[in-house]
Structure 1
């Protein structure tokens, strides 16, 4: 029997490597560039990054956040994405064990990380991620989790339909677009993997977290209600919270109501 500690460490290293790839996706997908070729290079001097300078987290620390060739600063977000992805990979092993469910959960989270950072940078959620994700995570959910195909299908409809209704109502009432179609497709993808119960939790958690952070951001920026804040990262956060802690939180909340 392989020690659990060894599995968790191995998962972290694997996840950090995937996080390095996610950085490529976050940078290239919005501009329509290939995520395969060419290899990673310095944005300023265009020098291709050698493999020994592309070790997740460690290379950034050893190079002190700078390009070896030209000395240009490398954003701290790159190792942070690698660290975040590694931690989530370890968490999947810890919560689900060395199972196919853990692998599917990690893939789901990796997609959400990619979506969240793209939305933060560009205020878009690419259809090339969310639309294929709907059937992929529908199949994954019914194949390796306890979710039934009915719950997954209802999750897709509830996820996409609920945000569509909100967006349509807001536009009808104000004449302005308040929510993009990317959020609708993203929530449909989320519903495919965590079902309609997860959609209810995700919407509640995303709204609560988004409201809190939104108020703080508006106060800090001084722009008030004119400040545009992407909703995709909050939907992603809500879905991840449900994935790990949804059932205990729901049971705790229902216990309070009794």
Structure 2
């Protein structure tokens, strides 16, 4: 497949996925967010497809990245991570592990379970101390989905990177002084996963 064909297919895929996934939230999303997400999807998928010469595994991973990045924009814009998007991504991660074999299905299952339980435990501990939730259920399901795609081995590094970025942004914007202010965590989880994919490919095959 020529680079020109890949680029054309990439643009078509990016536009179609952007419209389908963002359509239910069209009244709450800013156009600039959708455009930036579209550009992010296209650039990342083009890089992945170029590296893997358009292999089926690259297409699957590229589609997953597209959906994850769209979720990040929805969370940043609306403060929501819909089950209609997170749960299919979780199931797709498990199916990907069974079909492709990387990560191993048991590794993917463990990554999903640990990802969910870590954030659930943090939220319950915060509730016990402060009588209010610190983490939304959508974030728990998103990390579970990322864990299913990445496996358990890199999950803690992914979460640590996301927490560090969120804390830095919170300090920079003064959110830590505002009890009522909320900072969407989903975008940081997705950005951490993207960085992990782009910067740590030498640890594993070119998959998430």
TM-score normalised by length of structure 1: 0.70
Q: In the TM superposition, what are the counterparts of 1:173-188 in structure 2 within 5 Å?
A: 173-188=129-144
CA distance, structure 2, for counterparts of residue 121 and residue 165 of structure 1: 26
- Unmatched runs of 5 consecutive residues or more in structure 2: none
Which residue is equivalent to 2:69?
113
| Structure 2 contact 37–70 (Cα < 8 Å) conserved | no
- CA 1:83–1:11: 2 relative to 1, 3 Å: farther
Name the SS for the 1:98 alignment partner: coil
Which residue is equivalent to 2:177?
224
Higher relative contact order (CA 8 A, sep 6+): 2
| Structure 1 contact 13–86 (Cα < 8 Å) conserved | no
| Structure 1 contact 130–185 (Cα < 8 Å) conserved | yes
Name the SS for the 2:36 alignment partner: helix
- Unmatched runs of 5 consecutive residues or more in structure 1: 32-42, 44-73, 251-258
CA distance, structure 2, for counterparts of residue 121 and residue 26 of structure 1: 14
Coordinate RMSD, CA, aligned: 2.5
- CA 1:13–1:135: 2 relative to 1, 3 Å: same
Which residue is equivalent to 1:210?
166
- CA 1:202–1:27: 2 relative to 1, 3 Å: same
Q: Encode CA deviations 1:167-187: one digit per residue, 9 max, x unaligned.
A: 111111111111100000111
Aligned residues: 201
- Residue 16 of structure 2 corresponds to residue 21 of structure 1: yes
Larger-Rg structure: 1
Query: Going by fraction, where is helix more abundant, 1 or 2?
Result: 2
